Structure 1
Amino acid sequence: MRQRVARVAVVAVLVALALLAVPLALVIRASFFADERGELERAALSAAVRVSPDFATGDPVELAPGHFEGDLGIYDPALRRRAGTGPALGDAVTGRAASGTVAQRDGDGELVVAVPVSSAEHVIGVVRASTSTASVWKRVLTAWGALLAVALAAFGIALLPARRQARALAAPLEALARTSQSVTDGDLTARAGACGIGEIDQVALNHNAMVDRLAQLLRHEREFTANASHQLRTPLTGLQLGLEAALATPGADLRSAVEEALAESHHLNETIDEVLSLAKDATRSGPGAPAQPVAALLERAELRWHGPFAMDGRRLRLGLDRAVAGAATPRRTTDQILDILLDNAHRHGRGSVEVTLRDLGEAIAIDVTDEGSLSLPPSVIFERGTSTGPGQGIGLALAAELAESTGGRLSVTGTEPTRFTLLLPRTAE
């Protein structure tokens, strides 16, 4: 990535230098040749001044000594050299100047300027000045070399910020690639940081939002799997034990066993629906949500949990205030919460377990109390993964989520003995 960005910057610099240097080189060449023609013309004009009107009658001309390095000659109208240096006979340039105009030629390795000398409106001679183009090209090449050196220096200077800019652009993209690779390797906590480049920061923001959404979906999937396994394990075990006991007992009432199994299977089906509803962020507290009297709630709980507690030599007591026995609560959701609290008391509590009902006016309080003690702080007891025994710490966290889905609240209201209190809004029957 860095090499590609640097390559683009280098190409851009080279194109810019070429667009600047090539026209400048052409201008330098034209300027040097124009300057040299100007020098030749000035030398020729200086020599023409020394030609007297008597030149046509044979008056000799003496050229002043100077620093002119080329050939400087004076020709008569017949194009014969009369003084100075140059070809003995004038060339085509000299002939054009003899017609009364300044003539120039650049070719055959020579730069020539011819100036006519007039007297009384007649051309009496021609001054021809010439020099080798090699000397001009030498100065042009020297200037081009200096231009090339400046261009190379500019390229070198421009290369440093180009490389720095390449690093500045490539570093956040490389960091984003590493973050994406970490996510691919399973690290859903990896997040891309900001770099100050708006477009790349937007890509990083979208990437982080995608990872957050992916992590949320995976968390919901894992929680659903854990919730389902937690809620289905105990009822399935009870169903299997009931059927096995009926088959193993001679003369047992199989119809009664089948009816109990059907009731358990209905409860399992409701449990699955409730866990699915929670996984989809649906609630059961809105209009049309199934409701039941709290008396029926406690009776159903006693029917399911009296046997497991009795098998362990423990008592399950239900305290029902008849004044609020007809108060309605969300049916399946409250059943699930009460099952979790009773299962928690069965697994982690001690002694007798008491379920009591209290009327709080706009709400109903259900207390589940056992004779054990709570060793964990109440502030962490509902965090997923928190457990005081061999369990996975799913039940109480799920119960708290279910309580919130009904608009209620689950809290710890006692540690010695342990007491959990479920607050539920009244629901129309």
Structure 2
Amino acid sequence: MLRSRITWLAAALVAGVVISFVIPLCLLVRTMAEERAVSATNSDAQSVAMIVAGVDDPASLPAVLAPTLGARTATTTVALPSGQLIGGPTTTGPVTTGQPSSGPAQFPEDARLLAAVRADNRSMATTVDDRFHVLIPVGVADGVAIVHSVTDLGRVRRGVYGSWAILVAVGLLLVVVSVLVARRQSARISTPVVAMAGVAHRLRSGDFEARAAATGPVEVVELGHALNQLADRIEDLLRIEREGAADLSHRLRTPVTALRLDTDQVEDPTVRARLRSHVEDLHRAIDSVVADARRPSRDAMGGWCDARVVLADRAHHWGPLAEDQGRMTTVIGGSANGSASGAAGESVTGEHPGGEHAAYRPALVGLAARDLADLLDNLVDNAFAHTPEETPIRLELHVVDGLVVLRVEDGGDGSPDTVAFARGESGAGSTGLGLDIVRRLAADAGGSVGFERAGLGGLAVIVVLPLIERAD
């Protein structure tokens, strides 16, 4: 998602900046801590050396140094000329500050450093085994005393871990804050874009009143305006198309009506009947062309309907014509409820939705009621147009394995081999346009169209549509 990508990008950028600052800061804190420790060690050694130099009686040094050595940052000892150590640890354990003690130092390098300074009689500052030593020789009454201050640099470094933790915590806090801010800001971009995608899907599905809200950054607002202008243009084009189709219908039907009247003036009955048949075919072709021209403005709308209701409605619509032509029309509403048939010229529905059948189950398909009505009208019109009067017609609807099967058959002399299925093909006096509309409508709903020999003896057209769940 766009929002997640923007958030992750901001988090990565801020994390990179934080890392580039936190790591050097951590190293700087450690270096500064070491420098402070070294400076404090030097200061402690020099302070104690000044005190030792100012005492005339070496025997009083422990008492004088007692309060001083205990307050030092570094571990400080004073090695007297006699070898006694004042302060600091020994091999036997810590010595109480101010009490004389003897014996070698706890660390072997301390003894070596003391010996080196005593021999050279000059100050020394060095690091041995991660311990910083400052040794200052001081002249006293009975010889040379050495002030020795030591700081454990390893312990100093371990002491900065708390500062490091604070720096890392601050860095993580910055990353978290940046993620929250980026997520909020990205919503100002992603939310309008997602809404525009929804508007585009609604336009694709036929909701031409859908418009995008002009919110968000300037670029997103401009995109919304462009999408709305595109929707307006599509709506204008569809309106022009519908007006053109209506005008085409009006302009074509007028000369066809005049032609029909002229055919009635032909004296030869055979020629008159043939011309009248051709005029009727032309009239149906015009109706199909007009319906097909209007189709794009409705196909995109989608929708759903109860096929049982539409079947009953169209059977009722065609009933008067069937009665005039003496056709026996059978309507079967479902395989589970049987069928009913009427006498010649009757239109009988075997299952009426909402009637006396308590266990009525709708057969919902993914076509709008008007589109399914057009599909059935094209099939029934073909049956009426290409079969003689008094030819029986049967309409069936079955629900089988999640499929709605519509079957329209007649008792004429047609066969599956003579069907004009594609636009522009001709066979048995048909343009194929009506069946092409049927095929496309069925395909729009995810279905298919097939042909076979009818039980009545003529042609059976089978339309299979997926059964859908009830739409809210």
TM (norm. structure 2) is 0.44
